[in-house]
Structure 1
């Protein structure tokens, strides 16, 4: 395998589980040292913690460490970014941490749930972008920031109004920040996953393995749900020099469902 991220260091938030876990491992397989930043060390799906998985994988030849990080805390985020300096400095920031819900009509949404969702998904991404930009500017070698949005941040979905708002905000944050920091060699892009097989789509907002599965699959031209690897591969492209002339871009990873709707 070509080492697309050799001599790079990445911070990946929400990397203990799901898509973030796969991104961290894929980055390591391409030569990057990885800071796994999450509120918990144990994967939701079970198994070896992400940073230990990377260390134990003799094929990666990469270093990894875990930092307990709540993205709503600037102190926690600064600690995660500082951990990257132990591997040489921050080159890549992947803002993947997030939650889904509340899933209800707008009149039934509890204000506290609304605040929590916006604080984690949108404010947390902003805080991580701010910390990453500060570190990258100080280092003076540019960098790549990848923000995890959603197809819900483009199309909007009934009973997912706060989530769609937050993910749409991430999209505009990406565009604006890319325009602001491009002159410093910092690229900022967003990914919009569709239905990806993780704990989120099997437990938090169940689609996979439910009565909705068949109907949902009919809306996807490629005829399958996404795998975490599908998102991780696109993230690797955006983090690497293969995308050195790509910024302020949104890439939809949903098997064609959004365009065919």
Structure 2
């Protein structure tokens, strides 16, 4: 071989660009409770990874402030996004949210994220408070998954992700009702995975630990108070989690990277639950 090498092959001029393909291209996600908190972070990460998104929530406005999630997704990414008013205690609302995904080609990922927390003492919980938590945290997951699965079995399958909690891994005398709902989500996830796996539908749960959202800063007032130091001492990572930590886990479970992952509980808690 004769002649000089072209400049583009000189070592000093080589630029290596590593570009990863988006993980959720051609996916359509329905995410409940996506106006705020973990759900908003999941929606933003999904859109960044190429998914179209249905934001299903009671209101458009984020609790933490800012523009509505679906508007942010369309402004920040090439994703298509829409908002659907959805009360997860209503089966028809959940069905409408899944139906809205038909505009983008039909749901392939369902994230049952909506949930509430109340820390009433066991002997003081009344029937109304009990029913409300069960309706949102358990019924909403059950029928959200059912609505999505009915569409997925007609297509090429899909991924259902249920948001549980580390509180669903073991009991707590302080949070009896909440632990009961999240434990129910965990076992529903395992059972759904067994039922829907043959249809090409994977069902997995994410169990967040202490995550910095309005639930932990305002509703339960852990982060930003004297109580935070005690919680952080129990977390090997020595920090509270961020909604993006949960969103990263959701992207993995939604993507083909988790194609052989079904009926699992992915714990996102900085090591808290398994090291105490």
5+ residue gaps, structure 1, are none
From 52, 59, 62, the equivalent of 1:43 is 62
Distance in 2 separating the partners of 1:79 and 1:173: 22
Q: Structure 1 residue 69 and structure 2 residue 86: aligned?
A: yes
Q: Structure 1 residue 195 and structure 2 residue 235: aligned?
A: no
Distance in 2 separating the partners of 1:226 and 1:156: 21
Match of 2:114 in 1: 97
Match of 1:155 in 2: 170
Deviation at 1:218, TM superposition (A): 0.6
Q: Which runs of 4+ in 1 moved over 3 A?
A: none
Per the normalisation by structure 1, the TM-score is 0.97
Deviation at 1:52, TM superposition (A): 0.2
Across the aligned residues of Structure 1 and Structure 2, the Cα RMSD in angstroms comes to: 0.8
CA contact 2:30–2:56 (8 Å) conserved in 1: yes
Distance in 2 separating the partners of 1:40 and 1:223: 34
Encode CA deviations 1:181-238: one digit per residue, 9 max, x unaligned.
1011100000000000000001111210111111111100011000000000000000
Distance in 1 separating the partners of 2:36 and 2:142: 21
CA contact 2:190–2:203 (8 Å) conserved in 1: yes
Bigger radius of gyration among the two: 2
Q: After the TM superposition, which of the residue ranges 148-157 and 238-247 deviates more from structure 2?
A: 148-157
Q: After the TM superposition, which of the residue ranges 157-166 and 18-27 deviates more from structure 2?
A: 157-166
5+ residue gaps, structure 2, are 1-19
Match of 1:84 in 2: 101
Per the normalisation by structure 2, the TM-score is 0.92
Query: 1:110-149 alignment to 2 at 5 Å?
Result: 110-139=126-155, 141-149=156-164
From 15, 29, 39, the equivalent of 1:10 is 29
CA contact 2:153–2:200 (8 Å) conserved in 1: no
Encode CA deviations 1:56-97: one digit per residue, 9 max, x unaligned.
11xx21110000000111111111001111101110000000
